[in-house]
Structure 1
């Protein structure tokens, strides 16, 4: 099975391969710092998009017309903070990258606006609401929730890990360059 995620195509194992390795099925791993206290973010004022930003983002991401495209863009953005076992070098084998949106306040605001105009699973809006409040604590679970909206429950046990801050900065430099890293630091610290 293939899934389009923000212009990238993810290939899922077929049913023949699904039974081949029982131990991999529930192998979702998360990298975290030991003894890290969860950070409770204060309520953040909603980001207001300018018409110019809205048009630019629509050109970059495409018009979000259905739940599948919304879920795909959420997954594509999440790849900035999580990695699948296949994308160690920021690439996913067998995929073609059209556009991979950066996690920015304006991209989140754009997707939130679009989520309200289409018939979509409320879980997608919940993810975007969390992100708009700077809550990325469960971004690995957010990725899986968006994937599950797109393809149904995860029966293959995706191996997902949170990126370290250093790896996230490398990812940002790879896809968005110095300007993207500067924007990231201005918006998220």
Structure 2
């Protein structure tokens, strides 16, 4: 797969034009930096939400976002890697796209792979719905210093902890991560 610096930068005025590009390039391109114009630029552009829908239909996913200039920003899109982590938000989008009849064969294959390897079941919650797992609460009660530090964490740090636990593929991995999290919390270390 091409490095991020080697990826082309493209702007599309409509979802249809991005879809046409993906139809032709989905197998050969390692990804692209999609140039999205800001609303106040006055330039016609595909929206981020439209681009994500199109990408998901073809088994692609959004990645890094970076500033470009006063008029636009860049959003990376690339083919989804095997056994990559799914978000529950994207699963919701995919289910809607299937109902709308928009899913393409490459997108359907990405979904089937995720269901087969378990990453579909391990999809993580968005920050707004991330809850503290019961086993973490139990472990925190056993370590008062870790519990105290945890209570002072902001939403982002709590999300990072929840994400690490939700995305563990094996129970042993989850237990190892739990131990590391408790140790870090007890020391008052940051998660970013």
TM-score normalized with structure 1 length = 0.29
Higher strand share: 2
Query: Whose Rg is larger?
Result: 2
Q: Which has the higher contact order (CA 8 A, sep 6+)?
A: 1
TM-score normalized with structure 2 length = 0.29
